[in-house]
Structure 1
C-alpha cells in the first residue's frame, strides 16, 4: 500500500459549528450565489493580452515543400506520396482527425511518420482556429488529442451538429447542485438539495425509447444525507459525496452503489478532490482536511488555511490548490508539507478544473481565469470574459475544449484559445449548477430539478 504524504495541519481552538445546517446552507447560497449583473461587470476590464501570431507553427521538423518519402534507391513508393507534404496535409484536412490517427498509421510507414509528427497536428489546428493555442506553451502538449477534441466538439455543437439532448426529471425533487460522469459517460452521479445522491445508468438512454434508470444511494428514508448533497468526486470505482450535514460518504459503484464509508467532519463539506492515496475536503469552517479512506481512522490532518469557507479544491500528486470566499487561492505543496503560495484575488473562485500544467477557474463575477504551473509554483496568465452575466458555477477543460455553466441560465462551449472562442451558448430555463464531460456525453446539473444530458453519435 502506498504511503500517504501527511499534511501538517493542526486543529485550532474553534469549537463545533452548531448552526442548523439547513439555515446555514440557505444563508450561504444567498450570499455566495447572489446575482451579479452585466452592469456590475461593466467597470471591470479583463486582463487579456493581444493575440500573437505563432509563425513557428509552420516551421519545424517537417519540410512542407518536399515529399516525405522515397526508397533508398530513389524509387517513389506511391504516386500520392510523391506530392509535397503541404498538399498531403491539405488532403488530410478533409478526413476526420480520429480516422487519421487510428487508421492511416496502419497503411504504410510514411503515413505513420506523418501522423506521429507534432507539426502535422499543429498546422492542422492553426489553419482551423487562427488564434493562439494553446495559451501556455507545453513541451509535451498532446496535439493529436487536442485536435480531435476541438474538431469533434466544434462539429457536434454547430447549428446543424449531430447530437441528442435529454432532460431527465425522474431522480430529484429539488435543485441538482452536483454532477459527475463515470465510466466514460455510461453512468452519472448527481447530488441535490433534496438530500439525495442518485446513480444514473445512461447506457440504454435513447435506444428504442428506453430511459435512463435512476437509483438513490443509501438506505436512509429521509435521503442519502441529512443535509443538501452539495459536492461529488470520484476515484476509479469509488465515488464520494459531501453534504451540508458535515459528512462525506463513499460509495462503491462496482458494487451497485453500496456505501463503504461514512466520514464525519466538523462543518458543511463544500468541495472534494479524490486521488488514489488521499481524499481532500474543503469545508464551511474555512478548513482543508485530508483523509485516507483506506485507514480505520481516515482523518490525517486538518488545518484552517483560509479566513472564509473553502469553495473549490483540486489536487495532484504534488499540489493541493484551494479557493475560498476570502478571495484567496492557496497552493499547498504535498512534498514539503507546507503552503507554497497564497495568491490574493479580486473575486472569489467558485469552481476549478485542473490538468497540469493548466488550472482554469470561474469566479463570482462571471469571469474565467487561467493559471499555469511552472517550476512548482502557479502563475496567473489570463482573465477572460466569456459572456456570462453572473457567477460561473461549473467549469471543465481538456486540451481542446472548455465548458462553463452559470447562474445566468446558460452552458457555454468554448475552444480554449487566447481569448476563448465560444462555439455555442445553450440557454436553460433555470440556473445551471455544474458540468461534467466524459467520452461522447456531456452532463449538466440544473436548478430546475433535472439532469441535462447531451450525447454525440459514435
Structure 2
C-alpha cells in the first residue's frame, strides 16, 4: 500500500511538471541529445527560464568537457571573457558537417578554370566569391606566378614572383586599382585595416600604408632566408622563414619584439611553411609535417608544443578557429581536427591541393593538378 501511494505521488508530481518547474538536471539531460546550435537558436527562446539556464556559461563549459575530453581551449583563457556558448556551437557544427553521416560535405571539382597549378586561393563574401591565382598567368594579372591572395573589406591583394603586389576591386570582374613595387619576388602577404605586409624572397618584410599611396613606409630584415608566411593583427606582424625562425614585429613601435627558433637542433630540412594566428593562438606548420602551438599572450610567444597530427609530409597551409584546426599537406590529404590541447582527427580529405581557404562552412582548395576543389554542406 505504501509503495502504491509513493508511486501515485511520484506520478502526480511528474505530471505537474511544466516549463516553469522542470528540474534543471532533467532539462540539461534532454539538451544532451540535441545539438548546440538548435539549443541556442530555438530552445533558448522558448521561455525566460530556459533562457536563464542556457545563459550560464558553466553549462557550456561542462558540455564541452564531457564531449571532447581534452583540454579546451588549448591555452588558458579569461573564463569571464571567453564565449563558451559560441565555442560549443562552433565545435559541434564542425564535427557534425564533417563527421555525421546524416550531414555531409559534397565535393565540387572544377577543371576548366586554370591550366597550371593553383598556388593561391581566397574566399570572400562569406564564401560566395572565390578568387584564385595560378602559374598560368591568367587574365594577365601578373607577369609571374601568383603566390598569395588576401583581402580587406572589398579590396583584394595579390602578390607575385614578378616583384609586385596589386590591389583589385570586384564588380562582376576584377578591376585593377594600385601596384606596389617590391623590387624582389613576393612570396607571402597579409593585410589589416590600412596596412599591407609583404614577405619577400630576399628576406625582407616590406610594409605599405594603403592610405598614402604605393610607396613603402617601413620594413624589417630579421630573417636570414626567404619569408614564407605572414600574419598581421592590430599590433604585430608575425613572419615565418626558411631560416627556421618565427619573428614578431611591433608595427606601431617599428621594432622586432621577439625572434623564435622553432628547433633545438639544426636540421636543414626543417623550417616553417605556414601559420595561423587569431583567438590568442598561433599555429605554425612545418616541412616535417608537424604543427607547433605558440602562446602569444602578453607578447611572450612561447612555444608550447609540437604536434604530430597525422601528416607524413610538409604542411602547406593551416587555418584554425573556435571549431576546428585545418591542415593541408603535400602528402595529398587535408585534415580537420578538434581545436583541443590534444587535437583529434574529425575527418580526412584526399586532395591534390596545397593552399586552401575556409569560410562559412565552405572549403576551397587550390590543386597542384590545375583543379579548384570546393566542399559545400549538403543535407541528405
Q: Same fold (TM over 0.5)?
A: yes
Matches of 2:238 and 2:130, distance apart in 1: 25
Pair 1:455-2:376 in alignment: yes
Matched positions, count: 355
What is the correspondence of 1:184-333 to structure 2 with a 5 Å cutoff?
184-196=126-138, 216=139, 223-254=140-171, 256-333=173-250
Contact 2:356 2:366 in 1 (8 A): yes
- How far the C-alpha of 1:262 sits from its partner, in A, is 1.2
1:103 aligns to what? Answer: 42
> What RMSD in Å do the two structures reach over aligned CA positions?
1.7
Matches of 1:155 and 1:237, distance apart in 2: 31
Pair 1:364-2:287 in alignment: yes
1:426 aligns to what? Answer: 349
The worse-fitting range, judged by mean Cα deviation, of 252-261 and 77-86 is 77-86
- How far the C-alpha of 1:255 sits from its partner, in A, is 6.6
| 1:152-202 C-alpha deviation (Å, 9 max, x unpaired) | 221221262422110111111011111111111101111111123xxxxxx
Matches of 1:242 and 1:129, distance apart in 2: 40
Q: Secondary structure, in 3 states, of the residue corresponding to 1:100?
A: helix
The worse-fitting range, judged by mean Cα deviation, of 371-380 and 178-187 is 371-380
What is the correspondence of 1:25-424 to structure 2 with a 5 Å cutoff?
79-139=18-78, 140-158=81-99, 160=101, 161-196=103-138, 216=139, 223-254=140-171, 256-346=173-263, 347-424=270-347
Matches of 2:214 and 2:327, distance apart in 1: 37
Matches of 2:310 and 2:376, distance apart in 1: 24
Structure 2: segments with no counterpart, 5+ residues: 1-15, 264-269
| 1:6-25 C-alpha deviation (Å, 9 max, x unpaired) | xxxxxxxxxxxxxxxxxxxx
Matches of 1:138 and 1:367, distance apart in 2: 24
Q: Structure 1 pair 113/457, CA: closer, same or farther in 2 (3 Å)?
A: farther
| 1:377-418 C-alpha deviation (Å, 9 max, x unpaired) | 211112100010111001110012111000001111100112
Matches of 1:145 and 1:178, distance apart in 2: 30
Contact 2:178 2:214 in 1 (8 A): no
Matches of 2:358 and 2:58, distance apart in 1: 28
Contact 2:179 2:214 in 1 (8 A): no
Q: Secondary structure, in 3 states, of the residue corresponding to 2:85?
A: helix
Runs ≥4 in structure 1, deviation > 4 angstroms?
Answer: none
Contact 2:127 2:362 in 1 (8 A): yes
Q: Structure 1 pair 291/230, CA: closer, same or farther in 2 (3 Å)?
A: same
Q: Secondary structure, in 3 states, of the residue corresponding to 1:241?
A: strand
Matches of 1:258 and 1:425, distance apart in 2: 37
Matches of 1:146 and 1:233, distance apart in 2: 26
Contact 2:107 2:374 in 1 (8 A): yes
Matches of 1:120 and 1:100, distance apart in 2: 12
Matches of 2:17 and 2:100, distance apart in 1: 40
| 1:275-295 C-alpha deviation (Å, 9 max, x unpaired) | 112000100000011101222
- How far the C-alpha of 1:87 sits from its partner, in A, is 2.5
More strand by share: 2
Matches of 2:311 and 2:209, distance apart in 1: 38
Matches of 2:230 and 2:346, distance apart in 1: 28
Contact 2:121 2:132 in 1 (8 A): yes
